[in-house]
Structure 1
Amino acid sequence: MTELDLNTPAFTAYAIAASLMVLKVMGQGGMTVYRMLKSNSGLASPEDLRPGLINRAPDPAQLEINDYVDRSRRMHRNDLENIPAFWIAGLLFVATDPGLLLAQFLLYGFVLARAAHFWAYVTQQSHETRATFYTIGSLIVIYMAFHALWKLLS
């Protein structure tokens, strides 16, 4: 095991990738809100129909599913189902002191896979295209988890 600090190149790569994924998760939530405001629809809860500064003329139709908003909500949910596992597996992985090239390949590969998944979702590519990028990211996380477990048990 290695000490985790920003002077360790593999940990630096992890910190960069993890930070980018934090920004992705938070940005996706912002994108959903932007789409709700832009379309004046796709609200999620009945209490969202209370009059306020942003929604001055609430309408029950605002609670109906709007694909423009819901697509962003689905992307956000997918991020929340996948990125936390990356944060944990990635941290355990870099704690095993992997080679720098392997660490960079896997950590940045995950970031690229999630970016490609975002692109595929936002441009309405086929399920097979999205699934390909999802699978690449998932395999990276699974490898990092098995790598850490192997090092811990050996």
Structure 2
Amino acid sequence: MLDNEAFGSFVFYSTLLIIKMYIVAIITGQVRLRKKAFANPEDAMRHGGIAFAREDPDVERCRRAHHNDMENIFPFLFLGAVYSMTEPTLLIARTHFQVFFLGRVVHTVAYLLALKAPTRSLAYIVAQVPCFSMAVQVLIAVASHR
């Protein structure tokens, strides 16, 4: 399957996105520890007492960034894999994957650092463009083979 260069490019950028998601999860855990804001009573008891079983705005911001990743990266994984099977031009496919990846990285940085609006929204839109393009191309490819 990696002989398909478009698929190989997709696998590369998808793996980077999954690593990025792991990094956000680690950041969330570190912020929880630093702010002493634990989701579960047993964790709070281990780190100072039941009073630390609470929400914190900074932890919630990290969680929202992670949740947003799941809402957007998981569909990309499906679309990109199927799109790669439609034999797209390598340069165009790679551009789709790179734009999505860079848009998601900027979105995460903007979310975690609370950058001034509309940075996060623009990054979100930029990352959605290649997904929409891939979805349309997959539908066209499927329709043309019916």
- What is the TM-score of this pair, normalised by structure 1? 0.86
User: Which structure 1 residue ranges, 5 or more long, are not aligned?
Assistant: none
- 50, 73, 77: which one aligns with 1:59: 50
How is 1:3-152 mapped onto 2 (pairs within 5 angstroms)?
Answer: 5-41=1-37, 43-51=38-46, 55=47, 57-60=48-51, 62-152=52-142
Q: Indicate the structure whose relative CO is greater, using CA pairs within 8 Å and at least 6 residues apart.
A: 1
Same amino acid, percent of matched pairs: 28
User: Which structure 2 residue ranges, 5 or more long, are not aligned?
Assistant: none
Q: Distance in 2 between matches of 1:127 and 1:46?
A: 35
Matched pairs, number: 144
Q: Distance in 2 between matches of 1:47 and 1:149?
A: 49
CA shift digits 1:84-131 (9 cap, x unpaired):
000000001111010011001000110000011112112211342111
How far apart are residue 139 of structure 1 and its match? 2.0
What's the Cα RMSD here?
A: 1.4
> What's the secondary structure of 2:55's corresponding residue?
coil
Q: Distance in 1 between matches of 2:111 and 2:45?
A: 32
How far apart are residue 47 of structure 1 and its match? 4.3
